[in-house]
Amino acid sequence: MTTRKLTLRLNGREVETEVEPRSNLADVLRGTPGLTGTHVGCEHGVCGACTVIVDGRAVRSCLMLAVQADGAEVETVEGLGTAEALSPLQQAFSDCHALQCGFCTPGMLMTLEAYLRDHPAPTRDEIRDVLSGNICRCTGYQGIVDAAMQAAAALRGRR
Ligand code: FES
Ligand code: FES
């Protein structure tokens, strides 16, 4: 089996591993680093569950080869906060009951995290638009949009 060396800055830490050239980023993140918060649903770029942030942009890790991320800064849901210290977005999801089964939630969080960094004062319609690539089958989007608006306000208060 041919492998390639992959070096990432992953949630703020240098990680070096060997990957098959055909491996996608989602599978690699869920493998040796054990970051299973990155969920894999459709595996063809539709559901958004696998969204992570690569060099500041939200990407679908099921559609990206891991070797394409060599040298990049990669953020996954595990890098947002901890159970003891939730990030503002995670706290807002909890406060607004923005999830039921939670399968889609890591992707929602990473999509919104990337968006809110560049768009501190979004409208509800803009939030709905940016979330249109993230499918949630059980909550409806009302609570998710509420959470995004709450998080945006909290983040503005920190700036
Ligand atoms: S698993 Fe990547 S978009 Fe669905
Ligand atoms: S919370 Fe269940 S799919 Fe989104």
pLDDT tens-place string over residues 27-75: 999 998 899 999 999 999 999 999 999 999 999 999 999 999 999 999 9
pLDDT in tens, 76-94: 999 999 999 999 999 999 9
Q: pLDDT band at 140, cuts 50/70/90? A: confident
Determine the pLDDT at residue 125: 98
Measured by CA distance, the residue closest to atom 4 of ligand 2 is 136
Compute the distance from residue 132 Cα to the ligand 2 centre, in Å. 14
Q: Are 109 and 80 in contact (CB under 8 A)?
A: yes
Q: Are 90 and 80 in contact (CB under 8 A)?
A: yes
| CA 46 to ligand 1: nearest atom | 3
Strand order in the sheet with 73-75: 13-19, 4-10, 73-75, 51-54, 57-60
pLDDT > 70: percent of the chain: 100
Q: What is the 8-class DSSP label of residue 123?
A: -
Query: What global pTM score does this model have?
Result: 0.96
Task: Kindly report the backbone phi and psi dihedral angles of residue 13, in degrees, each rounded to the nearest multiple of 5, phi listed first.
Answer: -120, 140
pLDDT > 90: percent of the chain: 94
